Structure 1
Amino acid sequence: MLSIPEIATRLVDETLTKVSEDNSCTICFVGSSSVGKSTLLNSFLDKNDTPRETLVMEYSFGRKTNQKQGMEKTICHVWEYGGKLDILKNILPSIPVNGKYYYCVMVDLAKIKSLWNTLESCIQAMVNTYAEQKSVLVELIIFGGKYDLFKNYDAEIKKLICTTLRSVALLFNASIVFYSSKEPSLVRRAKELLHGIGFGNGVPNKERMFNFSKPLIIPKGTDSWDNIGVTASTLEQVKARHLSRIPLDTELSSVGERTIGAHHAHPEPSLDSKVAMKYEELRNLDSLDISLGDYLIDLH
């Protein structure tokens, strides 16, 4: 029979364990490089530091007092991966998971030629790491970064990209939110989502946008194949449909390299920008993959 001090010790240990699980969560951010992951996380955590290039893995955390639990604090553990995606599967097993676990994949909407590779690599690493770990329940969230550039793309391209992302999200019961650090409304929306998963009751469900001509925000469980406008598909079918229109090719063609300088030929900078925007669409449809922002910098 246990003594009273031993019983008390066991009860305290059990209580602390329960509090730790109920009042903590883990957020892991992966995805495209230089797409805005650090900027968004700094905004969410109220950090004023100038974002720098993320090393292989960086850790930060946020805390908030839970009024319902007295002075108990809710802790949000945040991990950000900035290394090569082909070794991500070797990194994920080392991340300690506390409480609910949210796996956030941010793809660069301005680089449509590499979008599928980023999405597939990150999700495959997640599946390989956690599929057989019954004790770890992962919730996937897909962030579409650099929407300020993507919104100016051709309507058919935007529709195809949105169809692909929505199809993948439906297959993995994921949420989608489009984001740009240059559009305050999208910053607010992304921060509200992170606050919901970090300190609230999960992904907020009050705001939704399915229209591909607008920045998507689709909480898990609110979309369907009928809404997307395609037949129910497997991941391989989604991939085949996407790559039939936007084949993988991240190499700069010699033709593209020779042509870049030719587009800075108008007397008005505004015309240069419009030509650059249209040329970016053509480049992505053929064989090139450079962001519009990088191209505009080259122009000036």
Structure 2
Amino acid sequence: MPKISSDTLWDVAAAEVRKRENRADAEEDCEEHGHLLTDRTVFFMGSKAGGKTTILLRFLDRDEAPKPTLALEYTFGRRARGHNTPKDVAHLWELGGGISLSDLVQIPITADNLSTLSVVLVLDLSKPNAMWETMERLLGSARNHVDKVCSLPQKTGESISSKQQRQNRVPRVLHKDYPDRELISPFPVPLLIIGSKFDIFQELESEKRKVICKTLRFVAHFYGASLIFTNSKSEGTMSKARSFINQLAFGTEKPKSISTDPSKPLIIPAGLDSLSQIGPPVTSDIDIGALHAKNPFDLWKKVFERVFPPKNVEEYTELKDPVKDPQYSEPLIDSMRAQKDQELEQYKRQQAKSWKSLELDP
């Protein structure tokens, strides 16, 4: 497998400037030799502490311990297809905080990258009670912003290439032979759903594992997405996940292996599943008629939440103050900040005394 380099941000910025200055010549040369430059964006989001950073580091082949993601972080990967050919660039964004920072989806999703954007949703299989809300909130926010970007009016004074990019920002359309094409609602950009922590998931009861597997198969098929389960301790599952991400980031060949056995990690590329193969929801102890579902998607949601009631725990209060995070320590800046904090507290005390001693006329 071609190795992905990990140059500094300044290196990739300089390369991007050079590429834009010589875009016409570079593209002409690539076409003559059968190569096309690619510049794609992959947006990672999902469960809080669900393993997104671990998956991303393994994809980049970086041997380092994962750190908690603060809000929204950016990195990139580069891949050479051969000798003396331009390197493909993948812009990689990771959203931290679970659903608490879903508003930040507007940063990595733009009119300029929409035609080459894909989304990776990581769901923590060890916390099924939070799974549906995480999936629904994050994908809902992303879809809404994609729709908003698609509806933006074209700017005046744009270059021809920019106009072409904006004209191409249409929602994703599945091919006519896609299974159940008329019964599903494909996500507007390519989507990969990763179920993480499969090793912990295996400790659940057999019936609960079956509910989770069938539900995620339905959700993935409904959105026209690929689905794979991973275990960070298993090189096999991580390698397969890397293949799926490679396809999104660099346009490599789409993985074709498939596994639907709920006792093993699921591997289902988009388009290789169907509603008939998935079957109906697992409803052994549930009266479907009493659920009052509006549509099939709502039915699967209600059945899933009967088995795994959502937890009413807000994640907003759990956000960590980045100023106090040791991984972002800057001694000179921190000492100045501490001094300013002391001056602010002193000013507050002085003002409080002033107000207390102030005599107002009746």
TM-score for both structures, normalised by structure 1: 0.72
Q: CA offset at residue 22 of structure 1?
A: 4.4
Matches within 5 A, 1:166-205: 166-201=217-252, 203-204=254-255
Q: Report if the CA contact (8 A) 1:21-1:98 is conserved.
A: no
**Quick check: 1:102–1:139 contact (8 Å CA) kept in 2?**
yes
Preserved CA contact (<8 Å) 1:177 1:216: yes
The answer to whether the 8 A contact 2:123-2:195 is kept is yes
Partner Cα distance (1:71, 1:98) in 2: 25
Matched to 1:63, the amino acid is R
Q: Which moved more, 1:59-68 or 1:184-193?
A: 59-68
1:158-192: CA deviations, max 9, x gaps?
11011111111111101101011111211111122
Report what 1:124 is aligned to: 140
TM-score, structure 2 length as denominator? 0.60
Query: Displacement, 1:12?
Result: 5.8
Q: Any conservation in 2 of the 1:24–1:74 contact (CA below 8 Å)?
A: yes
Q: Matched residue pairs, number?
A: 238
Q: Which residue of 1 aligns with 2:207?
A: 156
Identity of aligned residues (%): 31
- In structure 2, what is the equivalent of residue 25 of structure 1? 40
- Once residues 84 and 17 of structure 1 are traced to their aligned partners in structure 2, the CA distance between those partners, rounded to angstroms, is 39
Q: CA contact under 8 A between 1:177 and 1:218: conserved in structure 2?
A: yes
Equivalent in 87, 95, 101 of residue 73 of structure 1: 87
Alignment match, 1:57: 72
CA 1:98–1:129: 2 relative to 1, 3 Å? closer
Is residue 2:274 matched to residue 1:224?
Answer: yes
1:219-243 residue CA offsets vs partner (Å, 9 max, x unmatched): 1111111111128x63222211211
- Whether 1:48 and 2:63 are equivalent positions in the alignment is yes
Match for 1:103 among 116, 119, 128? 119
1:172-216 alpha-carbon deviations (Å, 9 max, x no partner) = 101101011111211111122222222233641x21011112110
Greater mean alpha carbon deviation, residues 193-202 or residues 124-133: 193-202
Alpha-carbon RMSD: 2.7
For the 8 Å contact 1:31–1:105, the answer to whether it is kept is yes
**In 2, are the aligned partners of 1:58 and 1:80 still within 8 Å (CA)?**
yes
Task: Tell me how far apart the structure 1 counterparts of residues 302 and 99 of structure 2 sit (CA, whole Å).
Answer: 21
Divergent runs of 4+, >4 A:
11-22
Following TM superposition, by how much is the alpha carbon of 1:147 offset from its aligned partner in structure 2, in angstroms? 0.4
Q: Tell me what 1:276 maps to.
A: none
8 Å Cα contact 2:120-2:191 kept in structure 1: yes
1:208 maps to: 258
Code of the aligned partner of 1:237: L
Kindly provide the amino acid, as one letter, of the partner of residue 240 in structure 1. K
What residue in structure 1 maps to residue 165 of structure 2? none
Q: In structure 2, list runs of 5 or more residues that go unmatched.
A: 1-20, 151-168, 173-188, 282-294, 314-362
Measure the CA separation in 1 of the matches of 2:26 and 2:73: 27
Tell me which of the two structures has the higher relative contact order, counting C-alpha pairs closer than 8 angstroms and 6 or more residues apart. 1
Q: 1:13 deviation in Å? A: 4.8
Name the larger-Rg structure.
2
Structure 1 unpaired stretches of 5+: 1-10, 252-300
Partners of 1:181 and 1:230 in 2: CA distance: 31
Contact kept, 8 Å, 2:37 with 2:86, in 1: the verdict is: no
Given that residues 117 and 190 in structure 2 are in contact (C-alpha distance below 8 angstroms), is that contact kept between their aligned partners in structure 1? yes
